[in-house]
Amino acid sequence: MRYELIIFDWDGTLMNSVPKIVACMQAAALDAEWGELNVNAIEDIIGLGLPEAIAKLCPGIEAAQAERLRQRYAYHFVDGDSTPMPFFDGVEEQIARLRERSHQRLAVATGKSRRGLDRIFSETKSGGWFHASRTADETRSKPHPQMILELLDELKVPVERAVMVGDTEYDLEMARSINMDRVGVTYGVHTPARLAASQPVWVADDVESLFDWLYD
């Protein structure tokens, strides 16, 4: 077994939620009277905690307007937008395959809020797949490594026996900052060149090759 603990990012790594995030953020910005937001700019901040994402997307935004944007994003994501969010093809079967192995631990480190992640866990019945999880509102946002340090501590796994898997430089940089192995996936939001700058030990172009490598 290559790693005792595999920590996954969520959006753009396990779940194809990027189109919904983009649509909801664009609608929220208009509701908050900030104006139109560029698709590429929104994709760039996926993975950050929502306050950090808004600050980067909307430089100079005042606190009240940022809060309005946050509230409207939450509304559109939960109730106002119907864009589907499927798992990437093969994710459910491959996670089940990993869980069949004794001593294999799985976790999630995401820029979502705890409320948002728990909602997705409930809707998809996927919460039982993971031994632990951390969200951006209960610790520090990526790329700070605090959320993965907390997961390592909770699950009692040394850093050399763990790997972080994600589709953004934020995922990979938080692992690199503590000399933890990291794997990039190119089917999410950041380019292969951008992922390569974080010196991943492996880069996967699809779900099958990702999990085949993790299963070794």
Q: Domain boundaries in the chain?
A: 5-16+87-215, 18-80
pLDDT one-digit tens code per residue, 39-63:
999 999 999 999 999 999 999 999 9
* Residue 133: per-residue pLDDT: 98
CATH classification of 5-16+87-215, choosing from 3.40.50.1580, 3.20.20.70, 1.10.3720.10, 3.40.50.1000? 3.40.50.1000
The one-letter code for the residue type at 91 is V
Alpha helices in the chain (DSSP H): 18-31, 39-45, 50-57, 63-75, 91-99, 114-124, 146-155, 169-176, 192-196, 207-215
User: Considering the entire predicted model, what is its pTM?
Assistant: 0.94
pLDDT for the residue numbered 92: 97
Query: Considering just the CA atoms, what is the radius of gyration of the chain in Å?
Result: 17
pLDDT in tens, 171-201: 999 999 999 999 999 999 999 999 999 999 9
Supply the pLDDT for residue 1.
Answer: 84
Q: How confident is the model at residue 81 (pLDDT cuts 50, 70, 90)?
A: confident
What confidence tens digit (pLDDT) does each residue in 99-135 have?
A: 999 899 999 999 999 999 999 999 999 999 999 999 9
Give the model confidence (pLDDT) of 8-45 as tens digits. 999 999 999 999 999 999 999 999 999 999 999 999 99
Quick check: 154 pLDDT over 90? Answer: yes
User: 110, 132 in Cβ contact below 8 A?
Assistant: no
Choosing among 1.10.3470, 2.20.25, 1.10.150, 3.10.310, the CATH entry for 18-80 is 1.10.150
Q: Rounded to a whole number, what is the distance in angstroms from the first to the last CA of the chain? A: 6
